[in-house]
Structures are given as C-alpha cells and as structure tokens.
Amino acid sequence: MRLRNVKNKEEILQSCSLLVQNPQTYRGHWHELFANDQPIYLEIGMGKGDFIIQNAKLHPDINYIGIEKFDSVLARAIPKIPIDLKNLRIIRMDARFIEDVFDHEISQIYLNFSDPWPKKRHAFRRLTSPEFLARYDRIFQDEKRIEMKTDNAALFTYSIETLSQKGYGLFEVYLDYHEQVENIIMSEYEQRFVQRGQKVFHLFAKNR
C-alpha cells in the first residue's frame, strides 16, 4: 500500500498531547500515566484511528493505547481525536518493540486488518506468528485476550492454527462477521471492505 505524505505531519504529531513521545519511560507504569487502575486495551496498527477512537468514546471505563509506525497515517488520525478524550493514548512505534514499552499490563489486544505478509519467508512478521505471540506473553497482565479481524482468508487460517497451538481457546469465530453481527465498530479499512461487499473474518481468542 502506498502511503501519501501529509503536509506538516511533524507539526501535527508534536502538537498532539495524547501522543506519547518517550513510551519506554512508562514501561510498567502505564496506569500512572492514565491516573487510574482501569484495564488497558492495545490496538496494534491503529491506522487512521476510527476503531480505537470510537471504542474510547463508548467505554470510558477502559484505557486504550493505539500504536502505529507510519507518521503519515498517525497525522491523519490525530485530527479526529477529541481533546477531552482522557482514556486514549497513541504511540509512534514498530510493534516488534512492544516489550520495550509494556510489561505485563495489557488486558486485551486488537489486531484489525493487519498486513498478511503472504510470502512464507515473511511469516515471522505476521502479528499472529509464534514470534509475536511470544512477545504478547510478556505484555499481557493476566488472561491473554486477542480480538482479530481480517479480510485475508489465508491469514485467518494461519492465525487459527498458531493461536490454537499456543493454547488459546477460540470464540466468536465468524467467516462473515457483518452478516452475523450487528452494531460493529469499524476501522476505516473495514468500512471500505463492507462497502465493496467483501467478507470480514473475525475471532476472539483467550488463554490463561
């Protein structure tokens, strides 16, 4: 996917009070930043922010953190965030380094339309690869909870296999999510796929 540049993107990022500039300093202390003990939900690859912003608005009793590695994408998400949305923070980072930022303090992870990395030699980069699931082990607080949505059937099948091998129980497994569930909070990608009539795959995985 080609990313279009955003004029004044650095100015947009630097002026956002909810963008955490040095996230490593909060490792193990994110509850102190939020000034409460509410559960923390993490979206890996938040894109333009539609999904996580809507969730934060609807669930003030949950703290949300979105991570995104592309500056231009974050610069498009930031203007959508209400100034008074206190239970949301965003981080500019690559997901490979989440262990440097979190330490057994995440209650749930969202994986929305992650890059499928279709070539076999790139499988370790998939966000449900054994390598990433091992990283998640070290950031989950207690019970491990992952909610995933994708339009890619091969990635969905792969994820079912890797999660099952890791000991996760699978729930709410849908091969056509929008056909079976109502009132769904959608990411910008999801809105596009639904408009095209494409199927969205969904699963919720738990592991103690």
Q: Which residue is catalytic, options 71, 94, 115, 176? A: 115
Q: What residues does 140 pair with on adjacent strands? A: 106
Q: In what order do the strands lie in the sheet with 169-174?
A: 88-92, 63-68, 40-44, 108-112, 144-150, 201-207, 169-174
| Residue 36 C-beta-side C-alpha neighbours within 13 Å | 12
DSSP assignment of 91-129:
EE--GGGGGGT-SS-BSEEEEES-----SGGGGGGSTTS
Distance between start and end Cα atoms, the chain = 36
Instruction: Answer for the pair 52, 88: CB distance below 8 angstroms, yes or no.
Output: yes
- ∠ CA 85-16-23, rounded to 5°: 90
Q: Does 115 qualify as catalytic in the annotation?
A: yes
Residues serving a catalytic function are 115
